[in-house]
Amino acid sequence: MGTIQVIFKKEDIRPEKLKGKVVVVFDVLFATSTITAAIADGASSVIPVFSPDEARKKAEQFEDPFILAGEDKGRGIAGFEPPLRTNLKSIIQNKHLFLTTTNGTVALHQSTQASSLYAASLLNNPAMADHMAEHHQGEDIVLVCAGSSGKYTVEDFYGVGSLIYHMQKRDRWELSDAAVTALGFYEGSGPAKELLRNCRIGKLLVKAGLDPKEIDFAAEEGLFDSILTYDRDSGQIKEGKNATSSA
């Protein structure tokens, strides 16, 4: 029987301890939701980068069509699109997305020693659960909450609980105490839209001028069937029904 463990925030990640494990990263508001939507909307790939400077440097050497998108501590970056589906949907098809965010892309970078690495969100959790049951039965799974500024975030924990719920419907996994708590939290919470609007990050974003419909979109569980697989060799996240990482 495989196990499911939970990491509460990116600062708790110990990269060397992820070797040989399957890792799924969550940043529901918004990095992994944006990645899910971008792939579903026809992006060639998403390239998570650690910083705006890294995005610019990599883009200079990139030959295929691309878009730069990101935020830095919630603020816009000159020359970058806002990292939201509304801004990207009409321009992303057949282009690569260089994405830099304060939390989600950092968590992905810190997890690249995993044997298989995925990005997930409420938008694709049911499909991800199917994928876990089909391709990773009996393996050790680590679900990573990106968190925010060194703090736990309720929306990522809810996203983790959602995936555990759907995984348990398809197979049996041994749950850590944190995984049991995440599952119970998900099952006992109200509607996802209400939770995401009322969590700390949701309130901060709306106060800063974000259209609440962006949050409502991120709360649409199971909207897409995308499996977002990170390829360590290329540094790209692509649609991939099979894990494509190298040892």
Q: Quick one: average pLDDT of 156-179?
A: 96
pTM of structure = 0.94
Lowest mean pLDDT among 14-18, 65-69, 70-74, 172-176: 70-74
Lowest mean pLDDT among 16-25, 69-78, 161-170: 69-78
Q: 244 CB contacts (<8 Å, ≥6 apart)?
A: 229, 231, 238
Q: Quick one: average pLDDT of 20-43?
A: 97
Confidence bin at 241 (pLDDT 50/70/90) = low
Q: Is the pLDDT of residue 133 over 70?
A: yes
| Single-letter amino acid, residue 109 | H
| Domains of the chain by start residue, with CATH | 3-230 (3.90.1560.10)
Q: What percent of the chain has pLDDT over 90?
A: 92
Give the CA radius of gyration of the chain.
16
More confident call, 226 vs 247:
226
How distant is the alpha carbon of residue 18 from its chain centre? 17
For residues 159 and 165, what is the distance between their CA atoms, to the nearest angstrom? Answer: 10
Per the CB < 8 A criterion, the answer to whether 132 and 43 are in contact is: no
> Which among 165, 194, 169, 170 is positioned nearest to 182, based on CA atoms?
165
For residues 24 and 229, what is the distance between their CA atoms, to the nearest angstrom? Answer: 9
pLDDT digits (tens, 9 = 90+) for 102-132: 999 999 999 999 999 999 999 999 999 999 9
